[in-house]
Structure 1
């Protein structure tokens, strides 16, 4: 009887060991962690010069005038720049629109997707398109705005690094919101 108890105890112990070791998942290496980048919200500053437009922009950006009402909004902490290019409309609106669309869709080779959203501010006579480019494209966001008769302005976001969407995504999302704000606060001067 002692022998039966010993045999039964060893069988139960063996089964318990199998159940305990057989129920766990295979060990897997943990993925590399990504640094979480949170950027502070800046205050809004008003940009006004001799150019035919005014807008609000983030105080963390530095505005630099490039001549002929072309500007850059530089984000040194994020190593990024938004390039603003102004062109007067002189019976050339279809060409300006085509060029702006071409600039966006030139990135289709590297882009995972392009999401274009129309923008309309009837009161300020500001009409345009905001495009978000997903993937490892050179630019992550672009827009153009016009009053359809006199003014045309484009904006493009570029980083000072080789495009890697996963790495620049937090900064790109932050600056895209700034670009939307710029677009929404833009008014043409008379």
Structure 2
């Protein structure tokens, strides 16, 4: 009996070790190249600076006075879609409302939508940048206009199921490109 108690006591003492410790959180480290911007040749009545990381621009023709430009980022699996429309008498309010409504459609999945007003009086470029947080289909949307002749809206989409944590680094990188597009827009005179 003494041997059995000694054996059990030694197993209990030897079997106890250090308590397991949880591993610290790790973060995925993604590094993107510094952006190199050049004026994009587009067959539309405006110019803007584009990141050289993106593919050559693809122009898309839509119905009526609507024309589009797609800026693809194959390495990031993303595209910035730009849609240009001419401002005519009486349609500016509906163009603004449509751009704002498109952003509001993401409220179902979005955790937050923040808006940043943009004004460049010298170049006559006025607009709004919407940053969308959460698992929404688009992470950024914007529009710019001169309020007289030109209206341009844009959206950022990834070729993946929206998972905010996974696409966050690429989304932040591309938001800088969107801001550069807005800052560098120059309308051609009519």
Fold-level similarity (TM above 0.5): yes
SS of residue in 1 equivalent to 2:115: strand
Aligned-pair RMSD on alpha carbons? 1.7
Matched with 2:97 is 98
Select 1:43's aligned residue among 20, 24, 36: 36
Shift of 1:143: 0.5
Mapped to 1, the partners of 2:100 and 2:21 lie a distance apart of: 46
- d(CA) in 1 for partners of 2:21, 2:102: 44
- State the match for 1:142 in structure 2: 141
Gaps of 5+ in 2: 1-15
- 1:71 paired residue among 69, 72, 75: 69
Q: Which runs of 5+ in 1 are unaligned?
A: 1-20
For residues 85-124 of structure 1, the aligned pairs below 5 Å read 85-90=83-88, 91-124=90-123
**Runs of 4+ in structure 1 displaced over 2 angstroms?**
26-35
Partner of 2:7: none
Q: How does 1:144-159 map to 2 (within 5 A)?
A: 144-159=143-158
What does residue 16 of structure 1 align with? none
Match runs of 1:10-49 below 5 Å: 27-30=20-23, 33-49=26-42
Pick from 31, 53, 69: which aligns with 1:60? 53
Shift of 1:131: 0.5
Distance 2:24 2:69 in 1: 41
Provide the secondary structure at the position in 2 that maps to 1:117: strand
Structure 2 CA distance, aligned partners of 1:48 and 1:79? 22
| Per-residue deviation, 1:65 | 1.1
Greater Rg by CA: 1
CA distance in 2, matches of 1:174, 1:44: 13
Greater share of helix: 1
Deviations 1:57-86 (A, max 9, x none): 100012211135410110000000000000
**1:32, CA displacement in angstroms?**
6.0
1:45, distance to aligned residue in structure 2 (A): 1.4
